[in-house]
Chain A
């Protein structure tokens, strides 16, 4: 155990790479999800077609194969990426496809009456989306986004197969050098869990912010106690 914990430099470096991949991949996935999700909610059939093309292709492929493709196949036709860039691309494109479906579904789930009110106020299509539909849809997107970002974080483990030293690779290295298999992989488990909890906290915080924007849980926030007790009024209202 002492050996395993002694190499904390390796652990930290590995965890940091995992976090970097998660944040960069997540940012790319979010951008793609918003763009292609809105495309999926478009009135024009050809724009919706773009959404289908993207979603079906990148959702229907193994992230690892995508990564191999960017890392091994593309250089053969002259496109050379850094390993890090290829990994972010594979992860972002894959999770972004799931996210696009979340965005599309959330926009469609905003009550039709809200859309009609924007027409009655003569908003342009862009203003309808930007000022009313997207802000309200965002509240619906957050819980599934929480799932996806954790999914993405766990998915980063595949980069250990193309030579990046992330948390998974670090744990294997330490296991090899110390011979303490149980301890090494246990530490890896705990570190993944801790990172996931940090992401979860962040998503919860965002959910609370959005709830307040939408006037839920007003005027007073329920305390942890009332939620735990299942008191009336705790949790979601409105």
Chain B
């Protein structure tokens, strides 16, 4: 058994950094409910940038905070009392050698792994705990269901549903989970497919698409759920080299045109540099170094970061 000296119920309930900033301005075009005469996304009011940017989630994105988070798989401690904060709307890239716990962080946020110790905040709410009679108790399914509404994830292996065509992959969640009407879900799916450049594949079957196309559909599927936090788990690792750039360009556009809080695990350093406000370097379940991409990739201060970058860039 690993020596753990954490007291699981010790966290300070204040959440200054995370919850306080949950109103980052209501300036940008408020979301899709507004326009009266909504066509099929061919029109665009202002925002010269993107064509179908209206389909992207806008509005207050929550911050994220890890407090003394511990995650073990058996005797293997993957995260050791990890603390870090992501500001609302911030785009953060997690880098580091495999096994350093980066993906585990995303999986904890998506509730695909259970938390062992510590507290995870999304906005001013705890993900894995809920309040009962003033006490913090483990979350039940209902609480997790509520919390998951804010979070979306794109997987390395796409994970499209093979028993549905592209359109139903995009509408099933909104219709069944969010309770959106069928027509509205289809309209949103169309504009999202427009956004990812696959409008002509709406009735195709996932198996008829290339890897890059499948990943674009998967991105659109995640966005269709209107998340406020988007998790990208090595989304280009399974793609053929010539398809990587296209998906990265798409994600860059999405990052610029939305105000999502973005957590991204990647081995593509150029992409990390491009997309993120801040880079966290992980090793053995701890943050070794963090800073803006220019600093981390330009003049890292830690030897382990230098070694890692050298190894990655050499490959």
Contact = CB atoms under 8 A, between A and B. Distances in A.
B112 A116 contact: yes
B173 interface: yes
A159 B170 CA distance: 51
A35 B160 CA distance: 27
Contacts of A161: none
B207 A238 contact: yes
Contacts of B176: 123, 127, 131
Given A121-B221, A216-B207, A219-B208, A113 B159 contact: yes
A116 B110 CA distance: 9
Nearest to A210: B163
Contacts of A213: 163
Nearest to A135: B163
Contacts of A124: 145, 177
Contacts of A125: 141
A219 B204 CA distance: 10
Contact of A113 (B155, B172, B206, B208): B155
Nearest to B145: A122
Interface residues of A, number: 23
B163 A136 contact: yes
Given A216-B207, A238-B207, A121 B172 contact: yes
B88 interface: no
A90 B195 CA distance: 58
Contacts of A114: 159, 161
Contact of A214 (B152, B162, B172, B173): B162
Given A215-B162, A215-B208, A121 B157 contact: no
A235 to B, nearest CB: 15
Residue among A121, A131, A135 having the largest count of chain B Cβ atoms under 10 Å: A121
Interface in B30-53: none
Contacts of B201: none
A127 B161 CA distance: 13
A47 interface: no
B157 A218 contact: no
Interface string A92-127: 000000000000000000000110110111111101
B163 A122 contact: no
A37 B167 CA distance: 30
21 contacts: A113-B157, A113-B159, A116-B112, A116-B159, A117-B160, A119-B148, A120-B110, A120-B112, A120-B148, A120-B152, A120-B222, A121-B173, A121-B177, A121-B225, A122-B148, A131-B161, A136-B163, A215-B162, A215-B207, A216-B207, A218-B205
